[in-house]
Structure 1
């Protein structure tokens, strides 16, 4: 299943339940503990490089003992620790993947198969010293630094707040128990410190709970960029998606060609044959029976009109003229009018995108309306088309919402794969949210100048 289908981006944590904030704090504290594991590969590598650098500097300074120790130092500090460095880094990446999947559901969209080229020694060397291994070292070190900083910040705020409140209250209780409350109140400094501790403690705890989701969001964002969405992963994922998409589009094009051929053969071609035969009969009766000839001509004319209407219906499925002449804002109401379910169209683009973008959006809307009519059991549908202004390039966003039974699944022939292929072919994004019993929301973001 393509990664874009069913995918939903996490929104900024402006308001989150307290339980989720507590989970975020626990995640950061766990990151603080695991930072030792994450930083271990980089620390071992740094220690080895430092040892080698000092030895080389001693050799350059003319130390004869350093010259004798240099080969053993290279082996002990440079060659031997390297496998341990990369293996620890891969372990750290595995731990991080497992954590993010278990807590936040972040998984690789397309699992990458391990490289199988070469014999066993080549595969072992590639596993220990290949590009993936050193990428793991880089991510492990970055994750360790981020985990150490964010975990320490969260722990400092929460622990300081709780400690301040508990310490301040405990001091007051002990003063009351010893009868020393008067002395405490008489001492302005102690009273001020106790009041500040009791008042600022909850503020510190609330600050820690408030900032925790943002720190977790940064941690997950770094993991997405470096661990799940590195350049190599993106290239391999893109190649696989393009390969799958190309195969499906070839199959879809062949199926569409056969459908058009069947429609023309069974419909228009047979009707044109009937028109030809009717004209032949009319021509034979012109001299002997003009009235019958005129009736046959009228019949042929009516048949020709029906053929023209049928051909227009076939061509409408390819690219409607209203879309070419008047754009998507005029074409969407026409598509909605052919849907048996009541459809509300809201299109305000403020201009026309490229013809390719209009065609993809129109096809997506038609396919979505067809799916709704066949499978959704919906009572109402809303189709929206808006222009999203962005610095990196405007988007044409098409949204189709229905109140049907939901549960849209690309595996059961609902046409979602075809939609995804068309949108993805122009570097667009298709998201489908379809919980069972909760209706379906289809959102297609298409580059404005696709």
Structure 2
């Protein structure tokens, strides 16, 4: 019944395109007709905008909505969810992305998918409903008819029709009920075949994403190495050299000027503390010792304390996950907070870390929610690609979405035993 009810909605994009094509055919044929009425230019321009622009745009957008409805049905009713891998070949230009969203290959493919799903629901689902409804109505009507003819004292030959309907009506109902599970199974197979990429396409996209991700991780590692080398050379190395010179001067004065030597030693002590502070700043962002020793419960409050935006932390774990999972989760939280501080213009951030029971394995679920302006999109080549790479490296899933009331919700699903 649900498929039959949604079939008309699924077919609506195709109906809009048929109306648009029909208008184009009539417009091309009209100049050759003998009695074709002349239309004012304003009417012609309006018709062109409606049938050539508005109808196709509305058709592709409705087709995307129909495919989204089908994906939601697959997830909520049948528990079938496809993990999304960002397309490495996606265009970064906003106008090109908008054009592809409305008139690209994927948009027209969704029109075909929506039409196929609508035809299936209308024909096959309608047939099942007709069998059940008509069979029930025939059997019930035959029962009342049999009672009526018996009350009228009908001859035996007049009972053949009602008895036949009473016999075949339940058969039709049984056929419809038996066919319903097969129809649902076929609908699931059809939606999976239409909505989800083919295995070879998913594998090709996965390989491209892994190749692109590997290159970005190599570049990021090289940039981090250069940063550490520059900071050590320009900062800590110079301070250590000054500390060495101070200690050398103190040693040379130890015999002839003990008081001056003590002052130099005190100066060297102050310089050593400054060197330690600078080394901590250089190491900031690397794997912290507190994370290794005490886990996320102790490391995240320290990282959150450095955020310029108020952050609420909600930890819902009774035990620690694997060290790799903790490292990825820590990186996700720190990078997400950095992105929020730079781009979101948020006033508050909520970080939730919990253990989620999964069908095959438990997950470490990290959710970062802010009340900023939104607009975060990993496929635009932003810093979120680094999060994709870290999470994807442990076979996790990263989702970024913008709620209707604004802000951004970032969710990372990390295998508990990664």
Fold shared by both chains (TM-score > 0.5): yes
Q: Tell me the distance in 1 between the aligned counterparts of 2:88 and 2:408.
A: 31
**Aligned counterpart for 2:297 among listed residues 325, 329, 339:** 329
State the SS of the aligned residue for 1:304. helix
Show the counterpart of 1:103: 66
Cα deviation per residue 1:90-137 (whole Å; 9 max; x = unaligned)? xxxxxxx99954732589967799xxxxxxxxxxxxxxxxxxxxxxxx
Q: 1:216 to 1:332 in 2, by over 3 A?
A: farther
> Shift of residue 391 of structure 1?
2.9
RMSD across aligned positions (CA): 4.5
Show the counterpart of 1:25: 7
**Aligned counterpart for 1:384 among listed residues 332, 340, 352:** 352
Q: Tell me the distance in 2 between the aligned counterparts of 1:220 and 1:112.
A: 29
8 Å CA contact retained: 1:322, 1:330? yes
8 Å CA contact retained: 2:356, 2:362? yes
> Shift of residue 284 of structure 1?
2.2
Q: 1:225 to 1:422 in 2, by over 3 A?
A: farther
8 Å CA contact retained: 1:404, 1:437? no
Cα deviation per residue 1:170-196 (whole Å; 9 max; x = unaligned)? xxxxxxxxxxxxxxxxx9xxxxxxxxx
Show the counterpart of 1:340: 308
Q: Is residue 318 of structure 2 the alignment partner of residue 350 of structure 1? A: yes
> Shift of residue 152 of structure 1?
3.1
For residues 156-195 of structure 1, the aligned pairs below 5 Å read 157=129
> Shift of residue 446 of structure 1?
0.5
8 Å CA contact retained: 1:245, 1:421? yes
Show the counterpart of 1:362: 330
8 Å CA contact retained: 1:383, 1:398? yes
Show the counterpart of 2:230: 262
For residues 395-434 of structure 1, the aligned pairs below 5 Å read 395-410=363-378, 414-434=382-402
> Shift of residue 443 of structure 1?
0.2
Q: Tell me the distance in 2 between the aligned counterparts of 1:112 and 1:262.
A: 32
Q: 1:329 to 1:437 in 2, by over 3 A?
A: same
**Aligned counterpart for 1:152 among listed residues 99, 124, 130:** 124
For residues 116-155 of structure 1, the aligned pairs below 5 Å read 148=120, 151-154=123-126
Q: Tell me the distance in 1 between the aligned counterparts of 2:131 and 2:62.
A: 23
Q: 1:146 to 1:294 in 2, by over 3 A?
A: same
State the SS of the aligned residue for 1:408. coil
**Aligned counterpart for 2:215 among listed residues 239, 243, 247:** 247
Q: Where does the alignment leave 5 or more consecutive residues of structure 1 unmatched? A: 1-19, 34-96, 114-139, 166-186, 188-210
> Shift of residue 27 of structure 1?
4.7
8 Å CA contact retained: 1:343, 1:381? yes
> Shift of residue 433 of structure 1?
0.9
Q: Which moved more, 1:245-254 or 1:98-107?
A: 98-107
8 Å CA contact retained: 1:395, 1:446? yes
Q: 1:363 to 1:280 in 2, by over 3 A?
A: same
Q: 1:99 to 1:339 in 2, by over 3 A?
A: closer
Show the counterpart of 2:21: none
Return the structure number with greater relative CO, CA threshold 8 A, min gap 6: 1
8 Å CA contact retained: 1:406, 1:436? no
Q: Which moved more, 1:263-272 or 1:351-360?
A: 263-272
Q: Which moved more, 1:337-346 or 1:145-154?
A: 145-154
Q: Is residue 174 of structure 2 the alignment partner of residue 223 of structure 1? A: no
Show the counterpart of 2:248: 280
Q: Tell me the distance in 1 between the aligned counterparts of 2:331 and 2:86.
A: 27
> Shift of residue 231 of structure 1?
2.2
